[in-house]
Structure formats: structure tokens, C-alpha cells
């Protein structure tokens, strides 16, 4: 920018020097205006070849206009200096453009790397969660098959003993024991249900996934029962995860609405953001 200003000043100096040497005429004024126009067009031209051609034409006009001057060598030197400064300015501009392009590429690579790392962490968390659920399922199955079976036998045996027992004092104690065993069975079943992978907390998982949307205001409307099939829950979690990734990559909005409703025979999941769709 500054080099181009200096170049303009040098052109003006040449013209002023010409006027002081040979005087001001109408032809010279018209020629100067044409020269300024040609020179400005050379600076505005996007095509470098056209720009330099116009630039050379402006210098040619000056040379023709000072062919009778004694200081032609000085004028040529000033013109050469102006051309060098213009070339230097173009080189500086090219260098700045390259720096900006490299900076933009570095930013894009950094964003891509962060996204890749995020995906890897998500996959790792998914594998850990799957392995954890598998282990919980194994433990739940063992509790159900072993402890549950023994409690069932104890309850049946106690019921058989009570049916033949005639002692009321002993029967009261047996009734207390029967209540205790049934309570233990209920607690065992509840624990097995909590350990089983069917007990996925859908709302908690969705909120954990959307925690990545730290630049968005997220609204939730979840109306689902706990009896939803495990495979359906996993499908919903996968859909929300993919939607969140797309929002982070492409959305220019600031609000996300997630709606999940259960209807008779059908489930409805909606993920909406207020970003504008590009027309390009």
C-alpha cells in the first residue's frame, strides 16, 4: 500500500518536473489526465500481465513527453525506481496472501484434527460403554441365575414347611422369614434390572452428547417411558450423536431444539437448529 503511494508521488514529481522545464499547455494537461487514468487502471487490474502492460504504457507516455528534455536520464531513473517499487509492492502483497493462505490452512487443519480427536474419543467412550454394559449384563445374569435361583428354592421350601406346620408360634417366625425372603427377591430383581444394559438412561446419554454444543443454547423436550427397547434407545443415541456432529461442522446458528416423544406404536425424534442454509 505504501509502496504504491510512493510510486504515485514519483509519477507526480516527473510531471511537475516536466511542467517546470517546458511550461504548462492544454495538451500536457490532457496527456497528464490520460496518464493518471492509465496508471490507476494498471494498479486496479486483476490480471498481472494487463497491469504491467498498462504500467509500461504510462511510462512510455512520459518518455515520449520528455524527449526534448536535458534531464531525460534523471526521468528514466525515477521511472525505473517507481517500477521497482511497484514490483516490490506486488511481491510483498503476494507474500502476505501466501501467509494468510497458510494461516487459514493451518486453522482448518487444526479444526480437522480436533474433530478427528473428538471422534476418536467418542469411539473410545462408545467401546468402553459397550464393554461396561456387557460386564454388567454378565453380572446381572449370574445374580439372576445363582442368587435368584437359591432365593426361589428357599421361598418354595418355606412355603411347603408352613403348609404342614401346626405350631402357630413357629408359623409367625416362618411368616417373618417368608416376608424377608420375598423382600430379598424383589431387591435382587431391581438390582438385576439396574445392572442390565436395557436400563440405558436415554435422557442422560442425550444430554451428555449435546454437552459438546457449548456455543449453542440447547432446549430439551423428552417424553419417553423407561420401557423403551434397548435397540431403539441405542438408535436414538446414534442419531443424536450424528446430528450434533453435523451441527458443529455446518451450522451458523446459536440454538438447538431436541424433541423426543413416544406415541402409540411410533416414536418421534426431532433435532432442529436455527442456522441459515447457504444458497451456494
Q: For position 172, what pLDDT does the model report?
A: 84
State which H helix or E strand residue 79 sits in: helix 72-142
C-beta separation of 201 from 230 below 8 A: no
Give the residue-averaged pLDDT of 147-169: 85
Of the candidates 57, 52, 66, 53, the residue with the CA atom closest to the CA atom of residue 15:
66
User: Is residue 163's pLDDT more than 60?
Assistant: yes
Q: Above pLDDT 70, what percent of the chain?
A: 62
Domain ranges within the chain, ordered by starting residue: 2-70, 109-199, 200-280
pLDDT band of 255, cuts 50, 70, 90: very high
For residue range 83-118, what is the model confidence (pLDDT) as tens digits? 555 666 667 777 888 888 888 888 888 888 888 887
Least confident of 100-104, 140-144, 167-171, 226-230: 226-230
Residue 271: CB atoms within 10 Å: 18
Q: For position 258, what pLDDT does the model report?
A: 94
Query: Model-level pTM?
Result: 0.37
Specify the 3-state DSSP secondary structure of 224. coil
Distance of alpha carbon 275 from alpha carbon 259, whole angstroms: 17
Q: For position 138, what pLDDT does the model report?
A: 78
Distance of alpha carbon 118 from alpha carbon 129, whole angstroms: 16
Distance of alpha carbon 32 from alpha carbon 224, whole angstroms: 81
For residue range 11-21, what is the model confidence (pLDDT) as tens digits? 555 555 555 45
- The residue ranking higher by pLDDT, 146 or 23, is 146
Average pLDDT across the chain, whole number: 74
Q: For position 113, what pLDDT does the model report?
A: 86
Beta-carbon-side half-sphere exposure of residue 126 (alpha carbons within 13 Å)? 11
200-280 under CATH 1.10.10.10, yes or no: no
Q: For position 111, what pLDDT does the model report?
A: 86
Beta-sheet pairing, 255-263 with 217-223: parallel
User: Is residue 135's pLDDT more than 80?
Assistant: no
For residue range 46-88, what is the model confidence (pLDDT) as tens digits? 555 555 565 555 555 555 554 444 444 445 445 555 555 566 6
Distance of alpha carbon 78 from alpha carbon 14, whole angstroms: 8
Cα 174–chain centre separation = 66
Least confident of 131-140, 149-158, 159-168, 205-214: 131-140
Amino acid at each position: 500500500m505504501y509502496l504504491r503511494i510512493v510510486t504515485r508521488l514519483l509519477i507526480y514529481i516527473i510531471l511537475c518536473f516536466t511542467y517546470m522545464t517546458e511550461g504548462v499547455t492544454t495538451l500536457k494537461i490532457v496527456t497528464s489526465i490520460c496518464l493518471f487514468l492509465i496508471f490507476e487502471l494498471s494498479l486496479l487490474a486483476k490480471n498481472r500481465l494487463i497491469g504491467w502492460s498498462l504500467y509500461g504504457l504510462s511510462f512510455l507516455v512520459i518518455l515520449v513527453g520528455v524527449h526534448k528534455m536535458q534531464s531525460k536520464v534523471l526521468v528514466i531513473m525515477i521511472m525505473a525506481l517507481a517500477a521497482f517499487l511497484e514490483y516490490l509492492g506486488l511481491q510483498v502483497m503476494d507474500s502476505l496472501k501466501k501467509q494468510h493462505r497458510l494461516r487459514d490452512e493451518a486453522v482448518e487443519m487444526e479444526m480437522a484434527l480436533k474433530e478427528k480427536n473428538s471422534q476418536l474419543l467418542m469411539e473410545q467412550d462408545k467401546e468402553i460403554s459397550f464393554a461396561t454394559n456387557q460386564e454388567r449384563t454378565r453380572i446381572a445374569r449370574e445374580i439372576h441365575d445363582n442368587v435368584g435361583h437359591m432365593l426361589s428354592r428357599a421361598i418354595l421350601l418355606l412355603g411347603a414347611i408352613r403348609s404342614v406346620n401346626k405350631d402357630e408360634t413357629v408359623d409367625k417366625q416362618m411368616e417373618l422369614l417368608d416376608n424377608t425372603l420375598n423382600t430379598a427377591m424383589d431387591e435382587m430383581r431391581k438390582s438385576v434390572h439396574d445392572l442390565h444394559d436395557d436400563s440405558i438412561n436415554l435422557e442422560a446419554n442425550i444430554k451428555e452428547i449435546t454437552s459438546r454444543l457449548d456455543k449453542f443454547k440447547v432446549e430439551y423436550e423428552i417424553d419417553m417411558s423407561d420401557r423403551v427397547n434397548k435397540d431403539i434407545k441405542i438408535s436414538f443415541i446414534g442419531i443424536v450423536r450424528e446430528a450434533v456432529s453435523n451441527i458443529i461442522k455446518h451450522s451458523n446458528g446459536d440454538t438447538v431444539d431436541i424433541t423426543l416423544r413416544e406415541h402409540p406404536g411410533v416414536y418421534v425424534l426431532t433435532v432442529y437448529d436455527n442456522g441459515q442454509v447457504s444458497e451456494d
